[in-house]
Amino acid sequence: MSGSFIEISEVGPRDGLQSISPIMPTEAKKAWIAAEAAAGVREIEVGSFVPAKILPQLADTAELVAFARTIPGLTVAVLVPNLKGAEAAVAAGAHKITIPLSVSETHSLRNVRRTHAQMLEETAAIAALIQAQPEGRRPKFEGGLSTAFGCTLEGVVPEAKVLEIAEALMKAGCDEVGLSDTTGYANPAQVKRLIRAVRSVVGDHACAGVHLHNTRGLGLANALAALDEGITTLDASLGGIGGCPFAPGASGNIVTEDLAFMLAAMGYETGVDLEKLLAVRDVVKAALPDTELYGFTPDAGLPKGFSGAWGL
């Protein structure tokens, strides 16, 4: 609804960079994070605590968490695949930790070589680790429902399975669950249906965010569907870095600049200064000259006289 606050969670430094082969130098990542925070983005997923031999692009995550923590008002988010990653995330001082759990068990086995039961055990162990931290130093803990809208290996992912895993993640000690369209299969009707269904199981407050990809060009339509259902956190990636090699022209995550423009034009508050946000692309381009950046708003520019809440 116009006037309410929507959190744009920038995931480019994690989801975007893990999907491309060039390794962005740590100093460039810091410049990106600093510039985007200065543009008003309040939550940034700065990396993932996975072994460097698996994802060398994200080997500097601990250093980035330490750096990002020095930026006032910024929520520093990270991904962890297991307890070991969570230990590193807690030690580094991350404010928010997400463990992705593939609703498609085939995908889970292929990706992290773990069954659902094993992942839920890992989740419970992480929840215990967080609870053991002194009050005020406990990161927020999110369970990410990966492949919730379909899987490249299994195809259709049954809604009942999504609900079962959502409930199990909450029982294992997550503070909330997020719906993740890992494969870019989602459509707006499905987004609405699944948000309602998951909320009926875990409660509205415990399902507040969605993670969308633009693989088939439905990213912003899906974002709008999520907004209509009352979702208040939307993941996006600057320049939509990490496009799908099988869908030329399709960005990876939904493009932060286009999302921020849509939200501002509709009268939502995001805290983002669009001109400053568009300028952050230069920082990323300078460090990744051969990587394609996506987005329509950056090319077209803001409408003449644009100051948000367009036509209201």
Q: Is 244 one of the annotated active-site residues of the chain?
A: yes
Catalytic residue among 151, 174, 207, 244: 244
- Can you state the angle between helices 116-131 and 105-112, rounded to 10 degrees? 70
Q: Could you tell me the smallest distance in angstroms from the CB atom of residue 267 to Zn ion?
A: 28
Smallest distance from Zn ion to CB 86, Å: 19
DSSP letters for 125-155: HHHHHHHTSPTT-PPEEEEEEETTT-BTTTB
**Other Cβ atoms closer than 10 A to 222:** 26
Count of C-beta atoms within a 10 Å radius of residue 287: 17
Q: Is the dihedral of CA 212, 215, 220, 224 positive or negative?
A: negative
Task: Indicate the residue among 15 and 258 with the shorter CB distance to Zn ion.
Answer: 15
Q: Which residues of this protein are in contact with Zn ion, per CB under 5 A?
A: 15
CB of 306 to Zn ion, least distance (A): 29
Interacting residues of 133 by C-beta distance below 8 A, sequence separation 6+: 90, 139
- C-alpha closest to that of 234 among 1, 10, 4: 10
CA distance 288 to 186: 29
For Zn ion, which is the closer residue by CB, 173 or 178? 178
Helices (runs of H) and strands (runs of E) counted in the chain:
12, 8
CB of 242 to Zn ion, least distance (A): 8
Least gap, CB of 51 to Zn ion (angstroms): 19
Is residue 124 within 8 A of residue 169, CB to CB? The reply is no
* Residues with catalytic function: 244
